[in-house]
Amino acid sequence: MSRRNKLFKFAEMLTFPNVFENPNFHNPHLTGLNGEAVEMKGKWNENYFSNNHPLVLELACGRGEYSFALGQRMPEKNFIGVDIKGARIYQGAKKVLDAGMQNVAFLRTKIELINHFFSPSEISEIWITFPDPFLRDSKANKRLTSPRFLDIYRKILKPEGIIHLKTDDPKLYEYTLEVLSESEDCEIIHQDDDIYSKALYDETLEIKTYYEIRHLADNRTIKYVRFKFKH
């Protein structure tokens, strides 16, 4: 994408009512429509969705394929896709607006900052869909299922809240299982190292992101872990 095209899309995204941004990662505050400052922590359902439906996050959402598809399938839930890349969020947010969907929004920020934007027990579920596996051991703490990030999720999930990981990377899959087995308060609900080799455990797993389609074309197997924190 050319710089001119990217700047145009960023300017257009300021007019999207379903996009919230943290423009300065050193100062965790949010802006909304037309760059106006907004306070959403603990108030997402009240201030944006105007209902009390369960709130679900898609982390490292990319183009927001999962948020979009889940929102279509489950109008009784609210979804927020979170990513640091504005150009990717633009695509998902525009698709949601064009479809007239009211239960999907997007948040541009670093995932390690989400505690600044969600209150304790505000989130019912978290989806982590094909995140960067950070294969070098020296970068393990950047993996979205590392103990560092699990501590973040603990603070915002409701009791018995569910976390889903969908990945093609065997190292991230095995790493996640190891971290969960070593965490006393984590309970693995389901794990599968090849979800398409049998009947799907959950029909929502049939949703395919841009990256998953590419991985399947390369004959990679798709892995899935569902877990929760015990309370």
> Which residues have a catalytic role annotated?
132
* CA–CA gap between residue 6 and residue 156 (Å, rounded): 33
The two three-digit tokens of residue 203, written as one number: 């029909």
Contact indicator for 92, 117 with CB cutoff of 8 Å: no
* CA–CA gap between residue 90 and residue 101 (Å, rounded): 15
**At residue 160, what are phi and psi to the nearest 5 degrees?**
70, 10
The two three-digit tokens of residue 122, written as one number: 């505000």
Degrees (nearest 5) of the Cα angle 198, 58, 111?
A: 130
Give the ranges where 74-156 is alpha helix by DSSP (H): 86-98, 147-156
- Count H helices, E strands: the chain? 7, 10
Q: Report which DSSP code applies to 77.
A: S
Degrees (nearest 5) of the Cα angle 134, 136, 137?
A: 110
What Rg, from alpha-carbon coordinates, does the chain have?
A: 17
| CB neighbourhood size of 155 (10 A) | 14
